């Protein structure tokens, strides 16, 4: 993994060079993850503009997109893949999709997430990343885009680039052959960048009397969150391969193309 020092895109990382079992690695320059692109400025971030991004996959809800629409790099196209559409339709907007609301209202945060409920809520959210119809459709579309014969560099993101984006990264790296330890390390490694991006919100939240433990649970990612999603995969499908094939509807031929494009040996 290579962190890209961007000024207007938070938590931007190239998955290239991540080690895979058997001695290979992820091919650089093809798969990028980040936070939202609402502040992207090509003039201020020539390094980002030079990545040649051809497709942006946006995992956010309609409300998130409407509030802070992406600024897609020149020459790129936008693919909408709303992971939480089902939950929003039933009036259950996950905390992962309303970070700023949670951190702007300590009373609301305590009422909804205090007493350890934040961790429980995020575990349920991660299970829904595996099982809900909208999530399965979104992640299937993401992998389908990566499998296209003429696919170029692709960037995928949500709001903070940690939960919905973190699970997409877990799926992809597991398919490519990364070890569970490598997958978890990549998942957790976004914490410093995410906490920096939301530092002012967290400071304001705690200054108003907000519980720092709630802020940490909402802003950070933890092994227990990822474990909840992996447990759901195991319970429903047994393996990641079967989850991708049966749950996401991605055929083996597409998985083969992804592996061929995104891995390098030696």
SS3 96: helix
Residue 209 burial (CB count, 10 A): 9
Domain presence at residue 264: no
Q: In this structure, what are the phi and psi dihedrals at residue 196, rounded to the nearest 5 degrees? A: -65, -40
pLDDT for residue 192: 92
Domain presence at residue 85: yes
Q: In this structure, what are the phi and psi dihedrals at residue 205, rounded to the nearest 5 degrees? A: -65, -50
Q: Look up residue 97 and give its DSSP letter.
A: G
Tell me the CA end-to-end span of the chain in Å, nearest whole number: 17
Residues of the chain with pLDDT under 70: 1, 89-93, 95-97, 266
**How far is Cα 60 from Cα 129, in angstroms, rounded to an integer?**
13
CATH of the domain at 223: 3.90.190.10
Report which of 129, 152, 84 is spatially closest to residue 231, judged by C-alpha positions: 129
Q: What is the number of H-type helices and E-type strands within the chain?
A: 15, 8
Domain presence at residue 265: no
**How far is Cα 237 from Cα 185, in angstroms, rounded to an integer?**
24
208: Cβ–Cβ under 8 A, 6 or more apart, which residues?
106
Domain presence at residue 198: yes
Residue 181 burial (CB count, 10 A): 8
Domain presence at residue 104: yes
pLDDT for residue 49: 94
Structural domain harbouring 15: 2-258
Looking at the 3D structure of the chain, how many domains does it have? 1
pLDDT for residue 93: 64
Instruction: Name the helix (H) or strand (E) containing 241.
Output: helix 240-242
Going from the C-alpha of 251 to that of each of 141, 221, 242, 243, 246, the distances in angstroms are 12, 30, 10, 11, 9
Domain presence at residue 263: no
* Token representation of residue 43: 């003039």
pLDDT for residue 87: 81
Tens digit of each residue's pLDDT (9 = 90 or more) over 37-51: 999 999 999 999 999
**How far is Cα 140 from Cα 82, in angstroms, rounded to an integer?**
11
Q: Treating both helix axes as pointing N-terminal to C-terminal, what angle do 164-176 and 223-236 enclose, rounded to 10 degrees?
A: 60
* Token representation of residue 129: 């990343």
Helix, strand, coil proportions of the chain in percent (round to 5)? 55, 10, 40
* Token representation of residue 10: 């938070």
**How far is Cα 98 from Cα 156, in angstroms, rounded to an integer?**
19
Question: Whole-model pTM above 0.85?
Answer: yes
Tens digit of each residue's pLDDT (9 = 90 or more) over 65-117: 999 999 999 999 999 999 999 987 555 667 666 777 878 889 888 988 888 88
pLDDT for residue 91: 53
* Token representation of residue 251: 């055929």
SS3 130: helix
* Token representation of residue 109: 């945060």
């Amino acid at each position: 993994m290579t962190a890209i020092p961007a000024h207007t895109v938070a938590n931007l990382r190239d998955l290239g060079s991540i080690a895979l079992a058997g001695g290979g690695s992820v091919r650089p320059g093809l798969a990028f993850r980040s936070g939202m692109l609402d502040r992207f400025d090509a003039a201020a971030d020539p390094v980002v503009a030079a990545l040649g991004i051809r497709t942006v996959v946006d995992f956010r809800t309609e409300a998130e997109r409407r509030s802070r629409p992406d600024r897609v790099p020149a020459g790129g196209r936008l693919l909408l893949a709303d992971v939480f559409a089902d939950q929003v339709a039933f009036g259950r907007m996950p905390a992962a999709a309303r970070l700023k609301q949670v951190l702007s209202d300590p009373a609301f945060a305590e009422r909804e997430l205090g007493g350890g409920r934040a961790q429980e809520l995020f575990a349920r959210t991660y299970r829904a990343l595996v099982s809900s119809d909208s999530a399965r459709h979104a992640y299937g579309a993401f992998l389908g885009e990566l499998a296209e014969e003429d696919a170029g560099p692709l960037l995928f993101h949500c709001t903070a680039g940690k939960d919905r984006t973190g699970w997409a990264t877990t799926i992809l790296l597991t398919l490519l052959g990364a070890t569970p330890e490598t997958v978890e390390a990549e998942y957790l490694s976004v914490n410093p960048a995410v906490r920096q991006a939301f530092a002012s919100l967290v400071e304001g939240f705690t200054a108003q009397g907000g519980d720092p433990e709630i802020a940490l649970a909402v802003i950070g990612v933890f092994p227990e969150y990822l474990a909840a999603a992996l447990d759901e995969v195991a319970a429903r499908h047994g393996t990641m391969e079967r989850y991708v094939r049966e749950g996401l509807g991605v055929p083996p031929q597409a998985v083969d193309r992804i592996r061929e494009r995104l891995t390098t040996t030696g």
